[in-house]
Amino acid sequence: MTISVWLISSSWAAAASQPKTIARYCSSTGDLCFGVLNRSGAVSLELTTFARYFDRYDLCVKPPQGASACRNFPIRKSGAFYVSRVRWHANFPARGPGSYQVTWRLKRNTLGPQLKFRLPLS
């Protein structure tokens, strides 16, 4: 009886599951970053801070056609950072192919520039 064992390099496996950055912004001090990522074919909208500057924020997505949709999300402690990861498809309606604009807001002020992603993902 022959037993075959295949070992996969952990670095290769980790690289295969790494998200692909679609768009990203970090403040000039680097203490606030947010981005649009492709996680295995799904859009993830993420925010990371070094300190808990606020407990919740608004995330707004403007589709290629139609009005923006905004939702409020919490920030949670994750190791040394405070993070929020929002699955776009679970929280915002898909409005067809084209360019979507994403804005992170605190009250009525934007936290940085709008970021964009296109559907379908490439």
Beta carbons within 8 Å of 102's beta carbon, 6+ residues apart: 23, 36, 45, 59, 60, 61, 62, 114, 115, 116, 117
Contact 70, 56 (CB under 8 A): no
CATH architecture of the domain formed by 11-117:
Sandwich (2.60)
Query: Is the pLDDT score of 13 beyond 80?
Result: no
Our CA angle for 102, 108, 113, nearest 5°, is: 35
The pLDDT tens digits for 21-56 are 999 999 999 999 999 999 999 999 999 999 999 999
pTM of the model: 0.83
Contact 92, 86 (CB under 8 A): no
The pLDDT tens digits for 50-85 are 999 999 999 999 999 989 999 999 999 999 999 999
The predicted structure's pLDDT at residue 17: 66
The pLDDT tens digits for 96-113 are 999 999 999 998 899 999
Residue ranges of the domains in the chain?
Answer: 11-117
